[in-house]
Every structure is written in structure tokens, then in C-alpha cells.
């Protein structure tokens, strides 16, 4: 009997331990559910308040010229609506809000303008009672301050991350629109990665992923939001873009960009946590036209490589951070650079440039282009989507050769014209000396990217005696990298169609495909 009682006690002990474990798990699940509920409730309330603020800011513009350091219509108007200034005596939490503002000033968040937002007198204070009164939200437990001038909405407490005790703040950028900035332990070891999968000129297929570090697993993406540089008032969903799909096994989203611009992408997971934003400048253009005998090329370090297909993302990218022109090579070793059709305007300070669709003057940004002009290089012999131009000036010899590290030919215009017009005549609408406009279009492209091309005083193509010297000696390139047109500015004359027949100088050729 004693033996049986002992076994019973052990069983009871095991059952008790199992119950304790189940209760602990249950409490954890309830706690996590409450945290998610609290976060959802917080975001919903703050979003509603933000919408109300945006409506007020859109309806009343009397503080457009408001100086935040001076009293003006802005303060008088808001006081007339009985909004209480945050620095007033009725704000019981002014010290806590000052601490939050100090934290934001130190955080260097992009939506935060320290010159305006850090001045607490620009803010108006709302406790739960006034949130219900002014914004119609019942059962709120928020204590917030609002800068109606910039649109910023900041919570005193926000939602705290239970693991780090960090505050989650709500912020608004009057230029880029509404966005939720969340500082959480979960985003510290996770990288946001953007890749261009396919480049079709006027379209680019994008892949965005969350990459975990070490033992941190990548979360599932719920939504990707984006802002562009067109001063949109609200963010948009990438899931509404062309060809959007999500691969859960890769934790990656795919979609297609069809409008040029600087995009800022913000990833949100299924728990409403958002991760470090990533920006990318997309400059779409007319794709290069490859003909038989031509192959697209790019450079991987000092190694010249051939593209896998016409959509290879390595081939070209016109964004300012890369500025890679499309390059090609013919069977005889000739190097060529594609110049896509564009419109532009020049001022004393700058050159603004927009690539256009097909043979139209419609910019790929869909912006108003009344003050822009089509560059004449694309309408001299009928409308064209673009043209190939020799990457280097022609080398010496009876036949036209466009290769690096070769001695540059200096001949008269008649002979140069003959060489250029005989080159690949059957495959092109015309192959001839460039016009002044076509040479100028390359300089305009460089000016739009604030690139100063060094004049080439060397008598060797690419400014180098060595076979691969042009790859590093890019000061003579129109893009300041290996992808540009070389020797476009020289100490000697370069022959063009407008040159006199007896003129002598360097020369190169221009090729325009038949299907242009």
C-alpha cells in the first residue's frame, strides 16, 4: 500500500507540473494577444487622429507663411478653436513630452524637422477627454501633442516594447505623407534588401526582402508601403502595383516599377512592426535596341562580361547613384554606348532632364513637361527612341576601329565620313559622323548629373596606353565611370557632319537602328 501511495504522489506531482506549464503558456499567449491588441488599438486611434489633422491642415492654409519663431495667425487660429498650447500650465506632462522631443531630436528621424518640431510652443496638448471632444474617439487613453504646422502627432506613452521598454512614436511628414515609425528590438538585426531582378527600360521588376541576422528569423511581410518624390499626401501600397506577388519561403515580395522617381519603401510585418526604410532612385528610359552581331556588356570590376539577356539587371541603370549607360560590342570589337531619348531644360544653376516614352515627349515620371524641350539629337532624321554612339574615337588606319588603348586617328572630314558611312551600313538606318546635337546630348546628360568631364589631351582612345587603362581612368568618361562615352571633350577638334570638307580632326560614328 505504501508503494502504491508513493506512485500516486509522483503522478500528482507530474500533473501539477504539466498544469503549471500550461498555465504559463496560456498567460504568455494572452499577454502576446493583449500586446498585439494594444498595438492595433494604438495604431487605429493615432491613424484616425492623423486623418483629422490632415483634414484641418488641408482646409485651413492661413499659416502657410508661418514663422515658428514668431507669434502669428497659426497660434491665434488654433487658440480660437480652444486647443491648449502644450507649454501651457494645463499640460501636466510637459516634462515627459520634452523628454520625448529630446529623444526624437537625438534620433535623426527623417520625418522630424528639429528647427520647427523641437519647439514645444508649436504643439497643442490633448488629453483623453479632449481627444473625445475634438476627434470623436471614445475610451481613449492617449495623451498627445500635435504640431498643426508640420502635421506631427506624438504620443506621451505610445506603446512600449515589453522586451526593451522602448516607446513607439507616431510621426507625420508633411512632404512625404503619413507614416508610422516603430523602434523595436525586432528590427535591429533584420536587413531590408532591394534588388532589381529585371530591367526592361520602361519597366523594372523589383524584389524586396527582410533578411535575418544570425539566429534572428526573418518575419513574414504583411505589406510594403511606398512614397515617391512627387509630394504625395499619403503612402501607397506596393501590393497594388503591377505583378505584385509574395513568396513566403523567401520572405520576399516582387512587383514592377513603371514610373520613374525616387521611391522610399517601408516594410510592415503581420504584427504591424515596421522596419528601416530603404530608398531607390528609378530612372526609366527607352531600352537599347540590340541588332545581330551586337551583344550587351557590363563590367564586374576589371572584368568585361556579356549580359545574359536583354533584361539583365546588370546592363544599365540611369539612377544618380549608379548612372550606368547601356554598352554594347560588335563582332569586330567596336564599343558603343546607347543614348536614350530625353527632354530637358537648362538654367543658370542646373540642367533638369527627364527620359521619355518611345518616340513621344511624355516623361516617364508622368510629370507636366511644358517647360522642357526634346533634345534635337532625337529628331534630326525623323523621330527616334535613341541611338548608339562610338564609346571611343576612331583609331588610326584605313578602316574605322572603335577600341580602347589604340592611337586616335586625325584625318580630314571626307575620309572620316567615308569610313563612318561604310560601317555596318546594312544593319542600320544610317551610320555616319555625329551631328553637333548628338555630341551635345551626351554633355547634357553629364551636366544633369553634375559631372565635369576632363578634357582629353592624350592621343590614345580612352586616354590610356594600356588595354584596360580606360576602366580606371574614368575622368575622360561622360559618366565618370566605365559606362560613359570617352574623349567627348578634347584639346583637338572632333569632326561632325557640320564640319567643312577640308577640316582635319578626330572622329567617331553614330549608329541608328532600323526599327527605330
pLDDT of 337-348, one tens digit each? 999 999 999 988
Between strands 84-85 and 124-126, the pairing is: antiparallel
pLDDT at 23 over 60: no
Chain centroid to CA 174: 19
- The predicted pLDDT at position 75 comes to 62
Mean pLDDT value of segment 465-474 = 89
Reported as a single tens digit per residue, the pLDDT across 418-461 is 888 887 666 666 788 999 999 999 999 999 999 999 998 888 99
Phi, psi of 241 (to 5 degrees): -80, 165
Please give the CATH number for the structural domain made up of 185-282. 2.60.40.10
- The predicted pLDDT at position 1 comes to 43
d(CA 39, CA 7): 48
Q: Which residue has the cell 495623451?
A: 143
- The predicted pLDDT at position 39 comes to 65
Reported as a single tens digit per residue, the pLDDT across 401-412 is 889 989 999 999
pLDDT at 63 over 90: no
Q: Which residue has the cell 514645444?
A: 120
- 319 Ramachandran zone, left/alpha/beta (phi>0; psi -120 to 50): beta
- The predicted pLDDT at position 494 comes to 93
**CA proximity to 148, closest of 58, 235, 82:** 58
- The predicted pLDDT at position 22 comes to 55
Higher pLDDT, 89 or 499: 499
- Contact between 102 and 150 (Cβ < 8 Å): no
Mean pLDDT value of segment 207-233 = 75
| 389 CB-near residues (< 8 Å, 6+ apart) | 336, 337, 339, 434, 438, 442, 485, 508, 509, 510, 511
Mean pLDDT value of segment 120-149 = 83
**CA proximity to 439, closest of 499, 350, 397, 395:** 499
- The predicted pLDDT at position 18 comes to 60
pLDDT at 60 over 60: no
- Contact between 510 and 417 (Cβ < 8 Å): no
- The predicted pLDDT at position 185 comes to 33
Confidence of residue 222 (pLDDT cuts 50, 70, 90): confident
The distance between the two most distant Cα atoms of the chain, rounded to a whole number of Å, is 125
To the nearest whole number, what is the mean pLDDT of the chain? 80
SS3 percent helix, strand, coil of the chain, rounded to 5, is 25, 30, 45
pLDDT at 33 over 50: no
- The predicted pLDDT at position 131 comes to 86
Q: Kindly list the domain boundaries of the chain, sorted by start residue.
A: 34-181, 185-282, 294-513
- The predicted pLDDT at position 87 comes to 78
Mean pLDDT value of segment 101-111 = 69
Helices (H), 64-182: 73-80, 94-107, 114-117, 128-135
Confidence of residue 216 (pLDDT cuts 50, 70, 90): low
Mean pLDDT value of segment 128-156 = 82
d(CA 373, CA 101): 47
Mean pLDDT value of segment 484-508 = 92
Most confident of 187-196, 265-274, 292-301: 292-301
Lowest mean pLDDT among 74-78, 178-182, 356-360, 474-478: 178-182
Helix axes 2-59, 128-135, angle to 10 degrees: 50
Confidence of residue 335 (pLDDT cuts 50, 70, 90): very high
Most confident of 45-49, 109-113, 165-169, 510-514: 510-514
**CA proximity to 126, closest of 145, 101, 149:** 145
- The predicted pLDDT at position 426 comes to 61
- The predicted pLDDT at position 281 comes to 92
Percent of all residues in the chain with a pLDDT value above 90, rounded to a whole number? 38
- Contact between 324 and 318 (Cβ < 8 Å): yes
d(CA 407, CA 25): 79
- The predicted pLDDT at position 142 comes to 85
Residues in the chain, overall count? 516
Mean pLDDT value of segment 123-128 = 87
- The predicted pLDDT at position 319 comes to 92
Higher pLDDT, 78 or 293: 293
Chain centroid to CA 422: 43
- The predicted pLDDT at position 220 comes to 82
Lowest mean pLDDT among 234-248, 261-275, 395-409: 261-275
Percent of all residues in the chain with a pLDDT value above 70, rounded to a whole number? 74
Amino acid at each position: 500500500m505504501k508503494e502504491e501511495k508513493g506512485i500516486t504522489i509522483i503522478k500528482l506531482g507530474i500533473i501539477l507540473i504539466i498544469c503549471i506549464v500550461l498555465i504559463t503558456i496560456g498567460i504568455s499567449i494572452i499577454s502576446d494577444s493583449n500586446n498585439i491588441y494594444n498595438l492595433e488599438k494604438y495604431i487605429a486611434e493615432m491613424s484616425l487622429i492623423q486623418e483629422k489633422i490632415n483634414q484641418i491642415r488641408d482646409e485651413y492654409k492661413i499659416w502657410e507663411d508661418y514663422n515658428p519663431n514668431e507669434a502669428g495667425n497659426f497660434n491665434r487660429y488654433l487658440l480660437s478653436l480652444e486647443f491648449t498650447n502644450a507649454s501651457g500650465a494645463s499640460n501636466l506632462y510637459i516634462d515627459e513630452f520634452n523628454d520625448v522631443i529630446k529623444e526624437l531630436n537625438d534620433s535623426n528621424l527623417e520625418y522630424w524637422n528639429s528647427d520647427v518640431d523641437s519647439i514645444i510652443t508649436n504643439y497643442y496638448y490633448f488629453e483623453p477627454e479632449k481627444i473625445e471632444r475634438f476627434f470623436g474617439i471614445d475610451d481613449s487613453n492617449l495623451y498627445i501633442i500635435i504640431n498643426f504646422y508640420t502635421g506631427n502627432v506624438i504620443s506621451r506613452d505610445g506603446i512600449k516594447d515589453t522586451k526593451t521598454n522602448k516607446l513607439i512614436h507616431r510621426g507625420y511628414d508633411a512632404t512625404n505623407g503619413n507614416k508610422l515609425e516603430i523602434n523595436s528590438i525586432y528590427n535591429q538585426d533584420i536587413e531590408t534588401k532591394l534588388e532589381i531582378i529585371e530591367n526592361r527600360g520602361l519597366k523594372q521588376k523589383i524584389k524586396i526582402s527582410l533578411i535575418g541576422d544570425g539566429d534572428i528569423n526573418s518575419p513574414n511581410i504583411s505589406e510594403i508601403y511606398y512614397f515617391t518624390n512627387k509630394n504625395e499626401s499619403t503612402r501607397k501600397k506596393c501590393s497594388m502595383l503591377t505583378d505584385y506577388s509574395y513568396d513566403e519561403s523567401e520572405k520576399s515580395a516582387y512587383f514592377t516599377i513603371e514610373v520613374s522617381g525616387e521611391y522610399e519603401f517601408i516594410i510592415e510585418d503581420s504584427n504591424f512592426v515596421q522596419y528601416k526604410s530603404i530608398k531607390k532612385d528609378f530612372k526609366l528610359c527607352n531600352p537599347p535596341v540590340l541588332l545581330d552581331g551586337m551583344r550587351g556588356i557590363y563590367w564586374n570590376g576589371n572584368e568585361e562580361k556579356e549580359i545574359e539577356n536583354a533584361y539583365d539587371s546588370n546592363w544599365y541603370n540611369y539612377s544618380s547613384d549608379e548612372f550606368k549607360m547601356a554598352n554594347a560590342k560588335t563582332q569586330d570589337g567596336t564599343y558603343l554606348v546607347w543614348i536614350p531619348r530625353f527632354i530637358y531644360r537648362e538654367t543658370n544653376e542646373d540642367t533638369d532632364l527627364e527620359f521619355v516614352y518611345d518616340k513621344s515627349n511624355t516623361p516617364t515620371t508622368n510629370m507636366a513637361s511644358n517647360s522642357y524641350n526634346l533634345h534635337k539629337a532625337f529628331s534630326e532624321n525623323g523621330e527616334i527612341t535613341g541611338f548608339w554612339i562610338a564609346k571611343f574615337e576612331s583609331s588610326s588606319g584605313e578602316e574605322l576601329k572603335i577600341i580602347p588603348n589604340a592611337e586616335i586617328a586625325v584625318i580630314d572630314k571626307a575620309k572620316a565620313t567615308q569610313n563612318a558611312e561604310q560601317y555596318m551600313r546594312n544593319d542600320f538606318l544610317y551610320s555616319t559622323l555625329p551631328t553637333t546635337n548628338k555630341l551635345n546630348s551626351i554633355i547634357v546628360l553629364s551636366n544633369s548629373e553634375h559631372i565635369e568631364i576632363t578634357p582629353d589631351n592624350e592621343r590614345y582612345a580612352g586616354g590610356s596606353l594600356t588595354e584596360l587603362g580606360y576602366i580606371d581612368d574614368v575622368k575622360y568618361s561622360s559618366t565618370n565611370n566605365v559606362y560613359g562615352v570617352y574623349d567627348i571633350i578634347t584639346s583637338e577638334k572632333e569632326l561632325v557632319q557640320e564640319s567643312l570638307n577640308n577640316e582635319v580632326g578626330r572622329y567617331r560614328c553614330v549608329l541608328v537602328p532600323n526599327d527605330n
